[in-house]
Structure 1
Amino acid sequence: MKPTTTREARPDHRHDTGVRNIVLVGHTGAGKSALAENLLIAANGGGAAAGHATSTRHTDHDDGESRQRTISLTVLSTMHRGLRINLLDTPGLADFIGDLRAGLRGADAALFVVSALDGVDGFTRLLWDECAAAAMPRAIAITRLDRPRADFTSALINCQEMFGAGVLPLYLPVVSRSRPTEPTPDGQRHRLVDLLAQAGIDDTDGGTDTDTDGDGDGDGDGDGWPGRAAAARNALIEGIIAESEDESLLDQYLAGTALPTKLLLDDLETAVARGRFHPVVATAGSGPGAPGVTELLDLFTRAFPSPFEHPVPAASRPDGSSCPVPSGGPDGPLAAEVIRTTTDPYVGRVCLVRVFSGTLRPDTPVHVCGHGRAERGHPDHDEDMKIGAISHPMGRSAQQFVEMCQAGDICAVSKLTTAETGDTLSSPDAPILFEAWRMPKPQLPMAIRARTKSSEDKLSTALAQISAEDPSVTVEHNAETGQLVLWCMGEAHGDMIIDRLENRYGVAVDRMPIRVPMRETLRGPARGTGRHVKQSGGHGQYAICHIEVEPLAAGSGREFCDEVVGGAVPRQFVPSVEKGVWRQFGLGVAAGFPLVDLRVRLVDGKAHSVDSSDVAFQAAGALALKDAARAAGILLLEPVLSVCVLTPDEHVGPVTSDLAARRGRVVGIAPASDTAQAGAGGRNRTMIRAEVPETEMLRYAVDIRSLTQGIGTFSRSHLRYEPMPDHLAAEYLAARAAE
Structure 2
Amino acid sequence: MSRTTGSGDAPAPSSPEQIRNVVIVGPPGSGKSTLFEHLVAARVEGRRPRGEERSGSTGLTAATFASGEVVVNLVDTPGNPDFVGEVRAGLRAADAALFVISGADGVDQATQMLWRECAAVGMPRAIAVTRLEQARADFAETIATCRRMFGDAQALAEPVQPGGPGTEVEGLVDLLAQRDGDLLEAIIEQSEDEALLERYLEGEEVDLDTVRGDLHKAVGTGRFFPALPTHAFRGVGIEELLDLIEQGLPSPVEAWMPRVFRTNGGEFGEVTCDPDGPLVAEVVRTTTDPFVGRQSLVRIFSGTLRPDDAVHVSGHLSQFAQGREGSAGDTGSGGHADHDEDLDRVGALGAPLGDELLAKGSAIAGDLVLVSRLAVAETTDTLSSPARPALVEPWLLPEPLLPVAIHAKSKGDEDKLASVLQSLVSEDVTMRLDLNAETHQVVLWAMGPAHIDLLTTALEERFHVPVETETVRTGLRETFIAGCEAQGRLVKQSGGHGQYAVCRLTIEPLGRGEGIEFVDKVVGGSVPRQFIASVEKGVRAQLEKGLLAGYPAVDVRVTLVDGKAHSVDSSDMAFQTAAGLALREAANETTVAMLEPIDAVDIDVADESVGSTLADLRGRRGQVHGTEPSQHDGRTVIHAEIPAIELSRYPIDLRSVSHGTGTFTRTFSRYDYLPPQRAKELTQGR
Same fold (TM over 0.5): yes
Q: Which 5+ residue runs of structure 1 have no aligned equivalent? A: 1-12, 47-53, 58-65, 178-185, 199-229, 674-681
* Residue number in structure 1 paired with 2:161: 175
Deviates more, 1:140-149 or 1:110-119: 140-149
Choose the corresponding residue for 1:77, options 48, 60, 64. 64
Choose the corresponding residue for 2:664, options 693, 714, 728. 714
Deviates more, 1:316-325 or 1:139-148: 139-148
1:469 to partner: Cα distance: 0.5
* Residue number in structure 2 paired with 1:210: none
**Residue type of the partner of 1:158?**
T
1:613 to partner: Cα distance: 1.9
Q: 2-side partners of 1:361 and 1:36: how far apart?
A: 29
Choose the corresponding residue for 2:530, options 569, 572, 588. 572
1:506 to partner: Cα distance: 1.2
Mapped contact 1:145–1:285 kept (Cα < 8 A): no
Q: What pairs with 1:585-624 in structure 2 (closer than 5 Å)?
A: 585-624=543-582
* Residue number in structure 1 paired with 2:213: 266
Mapped contact 2:306–2:361 kept (Cα < 8 A): yes
* Residue number in structure 1 paired with 2:237: 292
**Residue type of the partner of 1:388?**
G
1:393 to partner: Cα distance: 2.2
Q: Secondary structure at the match of 2:33?
A: helix
Choose the corresponding residue for 1:246, options 177, 181, 193. 193
* Residue number in structure 2 paired with 1:33: 33
1:589 to partner: Cα distance: 0.8
Q: 1-side partners of 2:603 and 2:449: how far apart?
A: 19
* Residue number in structure 1 paired with 2:468: 510
Give per-residue Cα distances to partners, 1:640-682, cap 9 Å, x unaligned: 1111111122222222232233222221211123xxxxxxxx2
1:282 to partner: Cα distance: 0.9
Q: Does 1:554 align with 2:540?
A: no
CA distance 1:538–1:141, shift in 2 (3 Å): same
* Residue number in structure 2 paired with 1:387: 346
Give per-residue Cα distances to partners, 1:433-455, cap 9 Å, x unaligned: 00111112211111111111111
Choose the corresponding residue for 2:367, options 388, 409, 413. 409
Q: 2-side partners of 1:536 and 1:408: how far apart?
A: 82
Q: 1-side partners of 2:49 and 2:333: how far apart?
A: 36
Mapped contact 2:156–2:176 kept (Cα < 8 A): yes
Give per-residue Cα distances to partners, 1:410-446, cap 9 Å, x unaligned: 1111111010000111111111100111112211111
Q: What pairs with 1:348-497 in structure 2 (closer than 5 Å)?
A: 348-373=293-318, 374-384=332-342, 385-396=344-355, 398-497=356-455
CA distance 1:16–1:416, shift in 2 (3 Å): closer
Q: Does 1:326 align with 2:276?
A: no
* Residue number in structure 2 paired with 1:114: 101
Choose the corresponding residue for 2:674, options 701, 713, 724. 724
Q: 2-side partners of 1:102 and 1:612: how far apart?
A: 66
**Residue type of the partner of 2:290?**
P
**Residue type of the partner of 2:198?**
D
Q: 2-side partners of 1:45 and 1:290: how far apart?
A: 15
Give per-residue Cα distances to partners, 1:203-223, cap 9 Å, x unaligned: xxxxxxxxxxxxxxxxxxxxx
* Residue number in structure 1 paired with 2:9: none
**Residue type of the partner of 1:690?**
A
1:376 to partner: Cα distance: 3.9
* Residue number in structure 2 paired with 1:686: 636
Choose the corresponding residue for 1:129, options 93, 116, 119. 116
Mapped contact 1:338–1:354 kept (Cα < 8 A): yes
Q: Does 1:342 align with 2:342?
A: no
Give per-residue Cα distances to partners, 1:321-355, cap 9 Å, x unaligned: 11212221111111111011011224432111111
Q: 1-side partners of 2:56 and 2:80: how far apart?
A: 10
Q: 2-side partners of 1:441 and 1:244: how far apart?
A: 37
Q: Secondary structure at the match of 2:488?
A: strand
Q: Does 1:697 align with 2:647?
A: yes
* Residue number in structure 1 paired with 2:3: none
**Residue type of the partner of 2:505?**
I
* Residue number in structure 1 paired with 2:250: 305
1:253 to partner: Cα distance: 3.2
Q: 2-side partners of 1:190 and 1:457: how far apart?
A: 60
Give per-residue Cα distances to partners, 1:260-313, cap 9 Å, x unaligned: 222211111111111111010111141xx5101111101000100111101321
Deviates more, 1:560-569 or 1:119-128: 560-569
TM (normalized to structure 2)? 0.92
**Residue type of the partner of 2:207?**
P
Mapped contact 1:55–1:76 kept (Cα < 8 A): no
Q: 2-side partners of 1:427 and 1:87: how far apart?
A: 27
CA distance 1:67–1:587, shift in 2 (3 Å): farther
Mapped contact 2:501–2:575 kept (Cα < 8 A): yes
Q: Secondary structure at the match of 1:573?
A: helix
Mapped contact 1:56–1:395 kept (Cα < 8 A): no
Give per-residue Cα distances to partners, 1:512-570, cap 9 Å, x unaligned: 11111111111201111212222333322222222111111221111111222232222
* Residue number in structure 2 paired with 1:217: none
Q: 1-side partners of 2:281 and 2:49: how far apart?
A: 21
**Residue type of the partner of 1:498?**
T
Deviates more, 1:111-120 or 1:558-567: 558-567
CA distance 1:191–1:167, shift in 2 (3 Å): same
Q: 2-side partners of 1:532 and 1:416: how far apart?
A: 62
Choose the corresponding residue for 2:125, options 114, 138, 141. 138
1:364 to partner: Cα distance: 1.2
RMSD: 2.2
Mapped contact 2:62–2:353 kept (Cα < 8 A): no
Q: Secondary structure at the match of 2:107?
A: coil
Q: 2-side partners of 1:636 and 1:188: how far apart?
A: 65
* Percent identity between the two aligned chains: 48
Q: 2-side partners of 1:628 and 1:307: how far apart?
A: 71
Choose the corresponding residue for 1:637, options 592, 595, 603. 595
Choose the corresponding residue for 1:151, options 131, 138, 163. 138
1:166 to partner: Cα distance: 1.1
TM (normalized to structure 1)? 0.85
CA distance 1:195–1:29, shift in 2 (3 Å): same
* Residue number in structure 1 paired with 2:174: 194
Q: Which 5+ residue runs of structure 2 have no aligned equivalent? A: 1-12, 319-331
Q: 2-side partners of 1:737 and 1:575: how far apart?
A: 35
Deviates more, 1:509-518 or 1:527-536: 527-536
Q: Does 1:279 align with 2:229?
A: no
**Residue type of the partner of 2:313?**
V
Give per-residue Cα distances to partners, 1:70-118, cap 9 Å, x unaligned: 1112211221103111111111122112111111111000000111222
**Residue type of the partner of 1:477?**
L
1:45 to partner: Cα distance: 4.6
* Residue number in structure 1 paired with 2:329: none
Q: Secondary structure at the match of 2:228?
A: strand
Mapped contact 2:135–2:167 kept (Cα < 8 A): no
Q: Secondary structure at the match of 2:158?
A: strand
Give per-residue Cα distances to partners, 1:233-262, cap 9 Å, x unaligned: 332122112211223432343334443222
Q: 1-side partners of 2:666 and 2:560: how far apart?
A: 41
Choose the corresponding residue for 1:89, options 59, 73, 76. 76
1:16 to partner: Cα distance: 3.9
Q: Secondary structure at the match of 1:645?
A: strand
Deviates more, 1:722-731 or 1:542-551: 722-731
1:67 to partner: Cα distance: 8.9
Q: 2-side partners of 1:440 and 1:16: how far apart?
A: 30
* Residue number in structure 2 paired with 1:19: 19
* Residue number in structure 2 paired with 1:656: 614
Deviates more, 1:135-144 or 1:567-576: 567-576
